[in-house]
């Protein structure tokens, strides 16, 4: 199985990825994650803005998926910490896209950045920086 098939097979078995509605389009080692617009993801009904927690979860899943895609890990990498910057309010009911890139892949840790946008990639709605444990996840039973 290719890494992209392994990732898709894994994501299909992650209940929360289904709950969120997470999808992705993989071309080689490049992945664009898609969060289809859905009213359940709204946090502020008054301005129909996407919940910060839904946006954060989407970016975290995007970052995790990218690490999984470009490594040979058998288990999902575990997040150590993450920071999310909320740059614009996400428009509820509209799709969100995200891409992640590995800043550094070490033997134990991976540092990842990810950005989410809606209609214009140059106008990101949120950005994430996260550290993942990539070694211990392999060693754990």
- Positions that interact with other proteins (CB under 8 A): 13-20, 39-47, 49-54, 56-58, 60-61, 75-76, 78-86, 89
Smaller CB separation from other proteins, 42 or 69:
42
C-beta of 29 vs 40, nearer to other proteins: 40
Q: Tell me whether residue 44 or residue 119 sits nearer to other proteins (CB atom).
A: 44
- Please identify, using beta-carbon distances, which residue of 28 and 93 lies nearer to other proteins: 93
* Residue 40 dihedral angles phi and psi, to the nearest 5°: -65, -20
Q: Looking at beta carbons only, is 27 or 39 nearer to other proteins?
A: 39
Q: Are 87 and 122 in contact (CB under 8 A)?
A: no
Give me the least distance between CB of 28 and other proteins, in Å please: 26
Min CB(75)–other proteins separation in Å:
7
Least separation, in Å, of the C-beta of 78 and other proteins? Answer: 7
| Rounded CA separation 23/136 (Å) | 27
Nearest by Cα to 113 from 123, 98, 102: 102
């Amino acid at each position: 199985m290719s890494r992209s098939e392994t990732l898709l097979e894994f994501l299909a078995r992650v209940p929360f990825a289904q709950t969120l509605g997470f999808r992705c389009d993989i071309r080689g080692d490049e992945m664009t994650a898609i969060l289809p617009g859905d009213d359940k993801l709204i946090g502020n009904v008054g301005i129909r803005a996407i919940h910060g927690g839904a946006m954060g979860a989407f970016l975290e899943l995007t970052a995790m998926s990218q690490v999984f895609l470009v490594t040979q890990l058998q288990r999902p990498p575990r997040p150590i910490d993450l920071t999310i910057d909320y740059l614009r309010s996400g428009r509820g009911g509209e799709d969100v896209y995200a891409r992640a890139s590995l800043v550094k892949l070490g033997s134990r840790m991976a540092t990842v950045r990810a950005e989410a946008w809606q209609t214009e990639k140059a106008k990101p709605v949120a950005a994430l920086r996260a550290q993942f444990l990539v070694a211990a996840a392999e060693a754990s039973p």
